[in-house]
């Protein structure tokens, strides 16, 4: 437990003075009672006297009052703790191809800008309960934004990715699985090439990866093999094709680079994972992917202030002190 206003504990220095005032009042009361008793005006066995029928029990209401004051000070210090609460949640990874082929302009203004625009629209279509992550992949892949319900952060991550390198769609999918799992997933390359069914990375049903790419894979691992791993893990991969099947040639670094959209490869990846394929120009189709993301209840740790609980406890203790005082003495003392 932590406290957001620990300075409030300074009020505890007043408690000893309250106790001292009570003890002093009790002594003065005892002295007056003894004086009156010596004159025969009161009984020495009264309910409030040390030897009376209530004895030490007469101090219980005051002890409860002190306890209530201590609890109230704790409430003023604004205690907070981490609690697990049920919450509906879904997870989707936006995987963005940032390889050099995305510089092509067969989609205006360029493949990468068209992909970014479609990715932004997709993120904006997500509900507040959906956590969005962003993975950028070229010849390698990196998670540039961990899963978050702060969709503005995901949008900012899309804006900041830059283009360069070859294309490894398989590595992009593997990194997306890492991001969903929240931990590094080690996959034996030999298992991918020989028997994908034996690759077990856990189960993450209801999660999805949306890959914005031209589908031209130039380096391993094999994206189709990784797609089978994703399918076994319950992760759907939706692919969004960026570019034209007719292709184009563009100049970069003094070289002429020919590139074309590989629709068949992207459809195969999507089909393997029970996902969908849409060209980037199909805005309604890309938006419809959001409807396939299933929300599920999960326990989420959250930092919660519990001042109200301590305040309520202090009130209950005060009421108990008052009720006991009324029952025993006929008044609140």
pLDDT reported for residue 96: 97
pLDDT tens digits along 23-35 = 888 888 778 877 7
Residues of the chain with CATH 3.40.50.410: 98-294
pLDDT reported for residue 300: 65
SS (H, E, C) the chain: CEECCHHHHHHHHHHHHHHHHHHHHHHHHHHHHHHHHHCCCCCCCCCCCCCCCCHHHHHHHHHHHHHHHHHHHHHHCCEEEEEEEEEEEEEEEEEEECCHHHHCCCCCCCHHHHHHHHHHHHHHCCCCCEEEEEEEECCCEEEEEEEECCHHHHHHHHHHCCCCCCCCHHHHHHHHHHHHHCCCCCCCHHHHHHCHHHCCCCCCCCCEEEEEECCCCCCCCCHHHHHHHHHHCCCEEEEEECCCCCCEEEEECCEEEEECCCHHHHHHHHHHCCCCEEECCCHHHHHHHHHHCCCEEEEEEEEEECHHHHHHHHHHHHHHHHHHHHHHHCCCC
Q: What is the mean pLDDT of residues 145-156?
A: 96
Q: What is the mean pLDDT of residues 102-121?
A: 95
pLDDT reported for residue 29: 76
pLDDT tens digits along 299-323 = 667 778 889 999 999 999 999 988 9
Tell me the fold of 98-294.
Answer: Rossmann fold (3.40.50)
Q: Is the pLDDT of residue 161 over 70?
A: yes
- Name the pTM for this structure: 0.67
Query: With pLDDT > 90 as the criterion, what percentage of the chain qualifies?
Result: 59
Q: Which of 11-25, 45-59, 100-114 has the highest average model confidence (pLDDT)?
A: 100-114
């Amino acid at each position: 437990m932590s406290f957001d206003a620990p300075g409030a504990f300074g009020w505890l220095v007043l408690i000893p003075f309250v106790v001292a005032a009570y003890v002093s009042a009790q002594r003065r009361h005892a002295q007056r009672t003894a004086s009156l008793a010596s004159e025969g005006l009161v009984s020495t066995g009264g309910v409030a006297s040390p030897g009376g029928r209530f004895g030490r029990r007469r101090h219980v209401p005051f002890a409860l009052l002190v306890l209530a004051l201590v609890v109230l000070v704790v409430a003023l210090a604004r205690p907070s703790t981490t609690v697990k609460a049920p919450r509906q949640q879904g997870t989707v990874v936006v995987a963005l191809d940032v390889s050099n082929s995305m510089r092509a302009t067969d989609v205006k203004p360029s493949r990468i800008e068209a992909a970014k625009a479609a990715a932004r629209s997709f993120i904006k279509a997500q509900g507040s309960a959906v956590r969005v992550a962003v993975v950028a992949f070229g010849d390698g892949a990196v998670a540039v934004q961990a899963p978050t319900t702060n969709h503005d952060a995901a949008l900012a991550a899309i804006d900041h990715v830059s283009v360069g390198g070859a294309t490894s769609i398989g590595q992009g999918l593997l990194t997306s699985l890492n991001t969903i799992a929240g931990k590094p997933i080690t996959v034996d390359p030999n298992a991918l090439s020989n028997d994908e069914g034996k690759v077990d990375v856990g189960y993450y049903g209801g999660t999805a990866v949306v890959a914005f790419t031209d589908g031209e894979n130039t380096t391993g691992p094999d994206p189709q093999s990784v797609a089978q791993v994703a399918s076994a893990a319950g992760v759907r991969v939706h692919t969004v094709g960026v570019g034209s099947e007719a292709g184009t040639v563009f100049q970069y670094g003094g070289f002429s680079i020919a590139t074309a959209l590989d629709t068949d490869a992207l459809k195969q990846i999507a089909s393997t994972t029970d996902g969908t394929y849409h060209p980037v120009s199909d805005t309604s189709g890309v938006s419809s992917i959001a409807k396939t993301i299933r929300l599920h209840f999960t326990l989420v740790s959250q930092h919660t202030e519990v001042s109200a609980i301590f305040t309520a406890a202090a009130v209950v203790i005060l009421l108990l002190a008052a009720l006991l005082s009324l029952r025993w003495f006929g008044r609140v003392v």
